[in-house]
């Protein structure tokens, strides 16, 4: 059956549009844009394994694919979601025996850089921001505010640590130390992953794993990226002028399409509650703003 299909394809080649001819090299492109694991919606896109996996699977299943290109533009977010996406990319690359190149746009920092490390090569614009190999937690304390408002906090929990770091209660040193221990463990995993994927290229800068970040121009010397460039120029140089650069996009809900909003990973969930949307937007905005974006 395969031989018959191959022969039919060759016979039909002269009358097929050039983009459909089997001999033309194809590079499927998956765009990963937004904060990772932070609730998405019309205000701010987000990336999760659930949103990324179907597109990654389609990309790696593309006939005649020479490699898979990832366009990464993320300030980070959930460590777990970042690692799950990283693992899925590596699994598909190994299963299909197809290489991966990550192309960084504005930023690939923290979890965004972890995802970029799933690629065999990282290409970035000279002004892209890369790095931020660290772990951060942020929140607010409202205990003094509710005291001034005359609000009584009533909290009932079973388990001594069930209400740890409750924002409406005074912060306890032992709770902070517990959080820092978790952060240290996650940070160690992150460092090990980067060393495994990029150990041969990494420089010896003492700030490399402190959460610091750099432009890709500097990151090139540190071993955080492999080359300076862009998607189209790099793929044409690698596969020729006729390379079929094929975006793999999710089908957006009807209401989103009618509203003119984009498609793809990071599109978010249309129609979520406005309060949740606003909080998610603020959280995502805080992640982006760390990098001047």
Of the candidates 30, 74, 47, 58, which has an alpha carbon nearest to the alpha carbon of residue 213? Answer: 74
d(CA 55, CA 31): 9
d(CA 288, CA 127): 15
∠ CA 101-103-105, nearest 5°, is 170
> Is 110 considered catalytic here?
yes
d(CA 72, CA 103): 6
> Is 46 considered catalytic here?
no
> Which residue among 6, 162, 233, 259 is the active-site one?
162
Burial of 269 (0-12, 13-18, 19+ CB in 10 A): middle
> Which residue among 46, 78, 82, 110 is the active-site one?
110
d(CA 164, CA 176): 9
d(CA 102, CA 82): 15
β-strands 244-247, 213-215: how paired?
unpaired
Structure tokens at 61: 């299943």
Q: Please list the active-site residues.
A: 110, 162
């Amino acid at each position: 059956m395969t031989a018959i299909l191959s022969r039919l394809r060759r016979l039909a080649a002269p009358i097929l549009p050039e983009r459909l001819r089997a001999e033309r090299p194809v590079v499927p492109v998956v765009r990963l844009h937004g904060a990772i694991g932070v609730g998405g919606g019309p205000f701010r896109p987000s990336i999760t394994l659930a949103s990324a996996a179907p597109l990654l699977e389609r990309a790696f299943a593309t006939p005649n694919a020479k490699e898979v290109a990832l366009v990464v533009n993320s300030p980070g977010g959930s460590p777990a979601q970042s690692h799950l996406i990283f693992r899925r990319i590596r699994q598909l690359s190994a299963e299909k025996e197809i290489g991966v190149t990550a192309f960084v746009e504005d930023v690939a920092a923290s979890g965004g850089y972890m995802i970029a490390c799933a690629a065999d090569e990282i290409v970035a614009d000279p002004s892209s921001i890369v790095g931020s190999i660290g772990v951060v937690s942020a929140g607010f304390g409202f205990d003094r505010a509710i005291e001034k408002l005359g609000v009584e906090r009533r909290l009932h929990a079973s388990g001594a640590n069930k209400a740890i770091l409750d924002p409406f209660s005074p912060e306890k040193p032992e709770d902070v130390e517990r959080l820092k221990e978790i952060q240290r463990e996650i940070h160690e995993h992150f460092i090990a992953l980067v060393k495994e994927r990029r150990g041969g290229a990494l420089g010896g800068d003492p700030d490399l794993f402190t959460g610091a970040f750099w432009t890709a121009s500097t990151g090139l010397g540190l071993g955080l990226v492999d080359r300076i460039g862009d998607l189209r120029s790099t793929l044409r140089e690698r596969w020729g002028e006729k390379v079929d650069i094929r975006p793999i996009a999710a089908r957006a809900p009807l209401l989103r399409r009618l509203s003119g909003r984009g498609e793809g990973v990071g599109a978010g969930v249309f129609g979520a509650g406005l309060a949740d949307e606003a909080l998610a937007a603020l959280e995502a905005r805080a992640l982006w703003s760390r990098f001047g974006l």
